[in-house]
Amino acid sequence: MPAAHISEKPRDSRILISIIVPVFNEDEAVAPFVEHLMPHIPADEVDYEIVFINDGSRDGTLAALRQLQSGNRHVRIIDLTRNFGKEAAMSAGLDNARGDAVIVIDVDLQEPPELIGPMIARWREGFDVVYGQRVSRQSDGFLKRFTAGGFYKMFNRLSHSKIPADVGDFRLMDRRVVEALKLMPERVRFMKGLFAWVGFKSVAIEFERRQRHAGSTKFNYWRLWNFALDGITSFSTVPLRIWTYFGLAIASVSFLYGIFIVGRTIVSGIDMPGYASLLAAVLFLGGVQLIGLGVLGEYLGRVYMEVKRRPVYLQSEIIEAPQSDADEQRS
């Protein structure tokens, strides 16, 4: 269903907020997260659900979530059949969220739940997307800060969909935005790019990124590198164009050099060229060809993934909290 045809609930009425939390091997983090989250949800103004997506955790995360759910009727659990990755887990959360507005937040508490109230307030003012923007990355190491800054600059130079610097997945989105994202058919998903691509009226709320509260990050530099490649190749064909121009430049230089050699031979006769320069040229051109094939292979591999049309994720089960008598009477 096109997003433009979605009927909106008045924003000044009592609405339902869905809080999406992807988790993978976070059994130590889920209980502190909910404990810290609950006081910052304006329950007197909104109804809410906390949607945990268990992305194939191999530790006690699912058991910890069930324990949380037994004491909190707002908790819903989407259990995936295996680890599909954070992008797929977020997609599962968006597909299953029932709220008039949806908030995506990480379980590690590096993104402050205190901003949920201000985000809802800006949404009520008429903004469709309210995203958190880091004012500092001091909790990250130097290498991560340097590479993250470089990625944002490169992505925005290569892509028409601009990502604001130091903006992650932490954001509130109106139901219209969620429905627009659900229309995106990509199998290789780069959610930051998709968030930017759909547009809508947006505003930033700045925050200070904190240290992780519990557990450890599941991203290493190799995964971040591949994640960056997914982002660039999903939203830009400039790398392919660069190699087209680079090939034309090398061909032009080679042609001019060939004319020079022919002219020198006619004027000065045949000389005995050195093998070192010939070998250097062959190796250089061979390396250029391999790099070009690698860039082409990255795009071809993504086409291969898309044409198979496999689902982005598979759900094992959706675990709903038991309703109280009062809930059943309202429904």
User: What are the start-end ranges of the E strands in the chain?
Assistant: 16-23, 47-54, 75-80, 101-104, 129-136, 167-174, 202-208, 315-319
In this prediction, residue 201 carries a pLDDT of 85
| Neighbouring C-beta atoms of residue 87, cutoff 10 Å | 21
Task: Tell me where in the chain the CATH 3.90.550.10 domain(s) lie.
Answer: 3-217+311-324
Residues in the chain: 331
* Of 73, 72, 94, residue with least CA distance to 18: 94
Please give the pLDDT value at position 59: 86
Position 237 pLDDT exceeds 70 = no
What is the DSSP code string of 88-142?
Answer: HHHHHHHHH---SEEEE--TTSSS-GGGHHHHHHHHHTT-SEEEEEEEE-TTS-H
Q: What percent of the chain is predicted at pLDDT more than 70?
A: 67
| pLDDT band per the 50, 70, 90 thresholds, residue 45 | confident
Note the pLDDT tens digit of each residue in 75-98: 898 889 888 888 888 888 998 888
| Average model confidence (pLDDT) across the chain | 76
- pLDDT, one tens digit per residue, over 98-123 is 888 999 988 888 888 888 888 888 88
The pLDDT confidence band at residue 271, using thresholds 50, 70 and 90, is: low
CATH fold label, 3-217+311-324 = Spore Coat Polysaccharide Biosynthesis Protein SpsA; Chain A (3.90.550)
* Tens-digit pLDDT profile for residues 2-19: 444 455 667 767 788 899
What pLDDT, on a 0 to 100 scale, did the predictor assign at position 155?
64
Q: Which residues pair with 48 in a beta bridge?
A: 17
Split at pLDDT 50, 70, 90, the class of 60 is confident
- Two structure tokens written together for 62: 């699912």
pLDDT surpassing 70 at residue 326: no
Token pair, residue 129, equals: 């997307």
